[in-house]
A and B are shown apart, each in its own frame.
Chain A
């Protein structure tokens, strides 16, 4: 992948709809959501929009304020070609969560589809105001400017240009929050990848900007993908940097190990593999309310293996910080089982034990 080939698509107009990872603030800003949202997302991916709408409506009847659910609802309306409804949903979201750039972006996409470029521009400028580093919004704004320019030219030059301007399609953001299902290669943000890989400005230190996406990669598959594993720390980007995959920095080794542990832990939980699940915990694990280890283990076994039906535990990009032999991983966990879905912000404290990382503390809120 060369510098040029990376840059071209940005300035070419055509962009297909694509999934985008979240910006920095959302991980904390979005309220808790239950774990049937991945199901909704799955239905969307399969194109089963009426079913998805039904699911998300059921979900929202319990949590009418939930940003993620409403976001998906807006997305479903968009896919169902109901722009008025979609605009209503995203507009309301921008009012309730003005700090989220994604609803603004998608609002802009919808307005742009209706050729209301002034509104689209305003929405994108809002998205950028809330998130100055929001690459997709910039790209979309560029497209909107181009559209507006084209409209102005049509008026100026009396061009009958109806089809010449239909070329570019703005990028709709598909995910408010990226989830990584088990065995799923994560749709890591394309835009931030481009950001890092297009050092258009000569030899300047570049700090990567999208922290959550950048912090680490969860699954082995993902880290093996072409997406460069990015580090939160400053990293010099050289002018001639066509290197597709920069070698991960040293510190990444540890966080990568921690990420693998979390993946295995969630995976075991989902498979109801209690043995593997419990093996993820350190022997001196701080049990809830200090209950005896044995009682805790029995309770876990009961709640996992004893659960009828399917369990699904997924989580979003964890933020991992390593401090010597202690690692803290913070992420949103989506739990889904028959009759219960829950979304929690989970913090795991892991300790290094030999070559392994084990869970020492587990906190939810």
Chain B
């Protein structure tokens, strides 16, 4: 009887230790403690009860549960800020403490909130089955499809971990170096943790990102680092929301809304990545949540979470940075990295204004190219243009700087470029990719944004 607790406990403890190996059932001599418990809980009743509990093992268990159920008042359903994680944590705590009755009550409360919550249904099934027989594993139903159980188990693990390992309040994701002033929020996705972090552009604090909330997300069936059409992977990179598709125009699969992002971006194309239709979207009506790895490459939230996040999304503006595993910086390191890049960008600007082509070209990588020019063509053009200039004034407004997740040190710089000169004025939104080469930031791509 006690054996069963260790199954679910096994899940919980493997979360703590990070070991995802299947926990094995542990068998303890169950009868004696059980009977003692029963006798204790029924101590005021006649020996009739005692006799019955001794004679009928199953009955004894149930009696114990009923008896223990009465004095314990129903626990209030806790509601977490961004999902069922807090409730799941409490449920697993109750299971670890072998208070299965409470665990069941809490699970049922969770299911009243989200009747389609498959993970909660699985836990409920286990807790009920445990009243009847010893159970050996998470998802103990005989003949349970292993893949589906594994999916729910994975969801439980990432949710509990997400809840226990909230981002440090004095750390920021390295990617959010600088948001432009009108970008109110930014989204950072951690595919390893199946987590989406919502950050606010804290303008009162110099535009430092401020953590708002985090949510469980589903990614591509085959994980992250999308390369090509149909590879069922979620792209890694710096994107932004390009549009909003309202629920009425969506198939049920996409749930309460959808926000396409601009995969493949300039960098993706340059790397030869293709595919399309990567969205942030909701969940179909037949389930509360989807497993951690289930989409064709989209980032999927529960409908309630999508609705919450949607309030913060600005079409065409809100950055969506998807990473394998978020790198975090202290405020100091973040400020240092940001000012270093700002300095590089500003030097590039003033060197352009100097009309000295060599000085300008020092900012460009040997691997630089635009969508239609090589470095040589670009250099030749600059030389030619500069020859006709008496003066050049360049302003970079609404600057944003986002570090591209990945091994290569790449940042994505976007700004409104106000170019004035003696013979030409031009306003454009420009995007540059800067790469750190030999310790120096160099432009490797630039073009219209």
- Which residues does A use to contact B, with CB under 8 Å? 10-11, 125, 128-129, 132-133, 135, 138-139, 141-142, 145-146, 148-153, 155-159, 195-196, 198-202, 204, 206-209, 237
A138 touches B58 (CB 8 A): yes
Taking the closest CB of chain B, its distance from the CB of A319, in whole angstroms, is: 16
Tell me whether A142 and B118 are in contact in the complex, defined as CB-CB below 8 angstroms, given that A128-B66, A157-B149 are known contacts: no
**Number of contact residues on B: which range applies?**
35 or more
B129 touches A209 (CB 8 A): no
CB interface residues, B 42-62, toward A, < 8 Å: 42, 45, 47-52, 54-59, 62
Q: Tell me how many residue pairs across A and B have CB atoms closer than 8 Å.
A: 124
Q: Is B241's beta carbon under 8 Å from chain A?
A: no
Q: A153 — which chain B residues lie within 8 A by C-beta? A: 121-122, 125, 139, 141, 144
- Which residues does B use to contact A, with CB under 8 Å? 31, 35, 42, 45, 47-52, 54-59, 62-63, 66, 116, 118-122, 124-129, 131-133, 139, 141, 144-145, 148-149, 152, 286
Q: A152 — which chain B residues lie within 8 A by C-beta? A: 121-122, 124-125, 128
B31 touches A132 (CB 8 A): no
Q: Chain B binding site: helix, strand, loop or mixed by DSSP?
A: helix
Tell me whether A142 and B58 are in contact in the complex, defined as CB-CB below 8 angstroms, given that A155-B116, A157-B122, A201-B31 are known contacts: yes
What are 24 A-to-B residue pairs whose CB atoms are below 8 Å? A11-B132, A128-B63, A129-B66, A132-B45, A132-B48, A132-B49, A132-B52, A133-B49, A133-B52, A138-B63, A142-B58, A145-B128, A145-B132, A149-B128, A149-B141, A156-B148, A157-B139, A157-B144, A157-B152, A158-B286, A159-B145, A195-B52, A200-B57, A204-B54
Q: A135 — which chain B residues lie within 8 A by C-beta? A: 52, 56, 59
B152 touches A156 (CB 8 A): yes
Contact of A10 among B51, B54, B58, B62 (CB under 8 A): B58
Contact of B133 among A11, A201, A237 (CB under 8 A): A11
Contact of B56 among A158, A195, A207 (CB under 8 A): A195
Most chain B CB within a 10 A radius of its CB, from A129, A141, A149, A201: A149
B51 touches A155 (CB 8 A): no
Taking the closest CB of chain B, its distance from the CB of A236, in whole angstroms, is: 12
A150 touches B141 (CB 8 A): yes
Whole-angstrom CA separation of A133 from B141 in the bound complex: 29
Tell me whether A157 and B145 are in contact in the complex, defined as CB-CB below 8 angstroms, given that A128-B63, A152-B128, A209-B48 are known contacts: yes
Q: Nearest chain-A residue to B149 (Cβ)?
A: A157
Whole-angstrom CA separation of A128 from B116 in the bound complex: 31
Q: B122 — which chain A residues lie within 8 A by C-beta? A: 152-153, 156-157
Whole-angstrom CA separation of A156 from B139 in the bound complex: 9
Whole-angstrom CA separation of A199 from B31 in the bound complex: 12
B125 touches A150 (CB 8 A): yes
Whole-angstrom CA separation of A141 from B59 in the bound complex: 9
